[in-house]
Structure 1
Amino acid sequence: MPPILEVDALTIGFGNAEPVVRDVSFSVNAGETLALVGESGSGKTLTCRSVLKILPEAAQMRSGRITFAGSSGAVNLLDASERQMRQVRGNQISMIFQEPMRSLSPLHRLGNQVAEVLHIHRGLSLSAAKREVLEQFEKVGFVDPERAWRSYPFEMSGGMRQRAMIAMAMVAKPEVLIADEPTTALDVTTQAQVLGLIRKLQQDTGMAVILVTHDLGVVANMAQQVVVMNKGRVMEAGRATDVLGAPAHKYTAKLFAAAPMIPEVAKPARAMARDDVILDLRNVTKTFTLRAGGWRKPVQVTACRDVNLQVERGKTLAVVGESGSGKTTCARVALGSERPDAGGEVLFHPGSGQDPLPVHDMTTAQRTAFQREAQMVFQDPYSSLSPRMRVLDALTEPMDIHRIGNRADRRDKAAEMLRLVGLNPDMLGRYPHAFSGGQRQRLSIARALTLDPKLLICDEPTSALDVSVQEQILTLLEDIRDHAQLSYLFISHDLAVVARIADEVAVMRAGVIVEQAPPDTLFYNPQHPYTKALIAAQPEPDMSRPIDLQLVAKGAGAPTSWPEMFRFDGPDAPALRELEPGHMVRCHA
Structure 2
Amino acid sequence: MDRMSKEETVNVGTPLLEVEDLSIGFGAGDAVVQRVCFKVMPGETLALVGESGSGKTITCRSVLRILPAAAQIRSGSINFNGKGGVMNLLALKERAMRDIRGDQISMIFQEPMHSLSPLHRLGDQVSEVLYLHSDMSASEAKKTVLDTFDRVGFPDPERVWRSYPFEMSGGMRQRAMIAMAMVAKPDLLIADEPTTALDVTTQAQVLGLIKDLQKDIGMAVILVTHDLGVVANMAETVVVMNKGRVMESGPAPAVLGAPAHGYTQKLFAAAPMIPQVAAPARPATQDDPILEMRGVCKTYTMRAGGWSKPVAITACHEINLSLGRGKTLAVVGESGSGKTTCARLALGAELPDEGGEVLFRATPDAPAVQINAMSRTERVSFQRQAQMVFQDPYSSLSPRMRVQQALTEPMEIHNLGTKSDRYDKAAEMLRWVGLEPSMLSRYPHAFSGGQRQRLSIARALTLDPVLLVCDEPTSALDVSVQEQILTLLEDIRDRMGLSYLFISHDLAVVARIADEVAVMRQGVVVEQAAPDTLFYNPRHPYTQALIAAQPEPDVNRPIDLALVAKGAGAPSSWPEAFRFDGQQAPALRELDPGHKVRCHA
* TM-score, normalised relative to structure 1: 0.92
2:265 alignment partner AA: A
Counterpart of 2:65 in structure 1 is: 53
Among 291, 296, 308, the residue aligned to 1:284: 296
In 1: Cα distance, 2:406 partner to 2:184 partner: 40
| SS in structure 1 at match of 2:319 | strand
Counterpart of 2:244 in structure 1 is: 232
Among 509, 512, 516, the residue aligned to 2:528: 516
Displacement of 1:155 = 3.4
Q: Is the aligned partner of 1:43 residue 2:55?
A: yes
Counterpart of 2:337 in structure 1 is: 325
- After TM superposition, the structure 1 stretch with the greater mean CA deviation from structure 2, 316-325 or 387-396, is 387-396
Deviations 1:203-255 (A, max 9, x none): 11111111111111111110011111112211111111110111111111111
In 2: Cα distance, 1:58 partner to 1:401 partner: 42
Displacement of 1:414 = 5.5
Q: Is the aligned partner of 1:186 residue 2:198?
A: yes
Deviations 1:155-194 (A, max 9, x none): 3332222222222222222222111211112221111111
In 2: Cα distance, 1:98 partner to 1:37 partner: 15
Among 232, 248, 253, the residue aligned to 1:220: 232
CA 1:386–1:103 in structure 2 vs 1: closer, same or farther (change >3 Å)?
Answer: farther
Q: State how 1:102-141 maps to structure 2 within 5 Å.
A: 102-122=114-134, 124-141=136-153
Among 68, 74, 77, the residue aligned to 1:65: 77
8 A contact 2:403–2:444 mirrored in 1: yes
Q: Is the aligned partner of 1:26 residue 2:38?
A: yes
Gaps in structure 1 of 5+ consecutive residues: none
Among 72, 90, 106, the residue aligned to 1:94: 106
Deviations 1:116-167 (A, max 9, x none): 3333333545544333333222222223333333433333332222222222
8 A contact 1:13–1:61 mirrored in 2: yes
In 1: Cα distance, 2:150 partner to 2:135 partner: 22
CA 1:558–1:266 in structure 2 vs 1: closer, same or farther (change >3 Å)?
Answer: same
CA 1:342–1:263 in structure 2 vs 1: closer, same or farther (change >3 Å)?
Answer: same
Q: Is the aligned partner of 1:463 residue 2:485?
A: no
CA 1:274–1:567 in structure 2 vs 1: closer, same or farther (change >3 Å)?
Answer: farther
Gaps in structure 2 of 5+ consecutive residues: 1-12
CA 1:44–1:448 in structure 2 vs 1: closer, same or farther (change >3 Å)?
Answer: farther
Displacement of 1:399 = 4.3
- After TM superposition, the structure 1 stretch with the greater mean CA deviation from structure 2, 410-419 or 208-217, is 410-419
- After TM superposition, the structure 1 stretch with the greater mean CA deviation from structure 2, 299-308 or 547-556, is 299-308
1:508 alignment partner AA: M
State the identity as a percent. 76
Counterpart of 1:482 in structure 2 is: 494
CA 1:79–1:262 in structure 2 vs 1: closer, same or farther (change >3 Å)?
Answer: same
Q: Is the aligned partner of 1:566 residue 2:584?
A: no
1:337 alignment partner AA: A
In 2: Cα distance, 1:71 partner to 1:423 partner: 53
- After TM superposition, the structure 1 stretch with the greater mean CA deviation from structure 2, 250-259 or 515-524, is 250-259
Q: State how 1:387-466 maps to structure 2 within 5 Å.
A: 394-404=406-416, 440-466=452-478
- After TM superposition, the structure 1 stretch with the greater mean CA deviation from structure 2, 193-202 or 273-282, is 273-282
Q: State how 1:149-548 maps to structure 2 within 5 Å.
A: 149-270=161-282, 273=285, 275-381=287-393, 383-386=395-398, 394-404=406-416, 440-548=452-560
Counterpart of 1:74 in structure 2 is: 86
In 2: Cα distance, 1:64 partner to 1:503 partner: 52
In 2: Cα distance, 1:386 partner to 1:410 partner: 19
Counterpart of 2:7 in structure 1 is: none
8 A contact 1:160–1:324 mirrored in 2: no
In 2: Cα distance, 1:422 partner to 1:161 partner: 35
CA 1:321–1:46 in structure 2 vs 1: closer, same or farther (change >3 Å)?
Answer: same
| SS in structure 2 at match of 1:146 | helix
2:85 alignment partner AA: G
Deviations 1:418-457 (A, max 9, x none): 6655667777666666666556545544444444432222
* TM-score, normalised relative to structure 2: 0.91
Displacement of 1:25 = 1.6
8 A contact 1:28–1:34 mirrored in 2: yes
In 2: Cα distance, 1:131 partner to 1:410 partner: 61
Displacement of 1:477 = 0.8
| SS in structure 1 at match of 2:520 | strand
| SS in structure 2 at match of 1:496 | helix
In 1: Cα distance, 2:15 partner to 2:447 partner: 33
Deviations 1:48-104 (A, max 9, x none): 222223333333333222222222333333333333333333332222222233333
In 1: Cα distance, 2:455 partner to 2:404 partner: 10
| SS in structure 2 at match of 1:324 | coil
In 2: Cα distance, 1:55 partner to 1:120 partner: 22
Deviations 1:383-412 (A, max 9, x none): 444555565655554444444556676666
CA 1:340–1:188 in structure 2 vs 1: closer, same or farther (change >3 Å)?
Answer: same
2:104 alignment partner AA: Q
In 2: Cα distance, 1:488 partner to 1:285 partner: 22
Displacement of 1:109 = 3.5
8 A contact 1:283–1:343 mirrored in 2: yes
8 A contact 1:271–1:518 mirrored in 2: no
8 A contact 2:285–2:327 mirrored in 1: no
In 1: Cα distance, 2:464 partner to 2:29 partner: 37
1:513 alignment partner AA: V
| SS in structure 1 at match of 2:372 | coil
In 1: Cα distance, 2:173 partner to 2:422 partner: 36
| SS in structure 2 at match of 1:489 | strand
The structure that has the greater radius of gyration is 2
In 2: Cα distance, 1:574 partner to 1:389 partner: 50
In 1: Cα distance, 2:102 partner to 2:408 partner: 41
CA 1:486–1:118 in structure 2 vs 1: closer, same or farther (change >3 Å)?
Answer: farther
Deviations 1:275-317 (A, max 9, x none): 2212212222222222322333333221221111121121111
Once superposed, what is the RMSD of the aligned Cα atoms?
Answer: 2.6
| SS in structure 2 at match of 1:360 | helix
CA 1:56–1:383 in structure 2 vs 1: closer, same or farther (change >3 Å)?
Answer: farther
Displacement of 1:361 = 2.6
| SS in structure 1 at match of 2:373 | coil
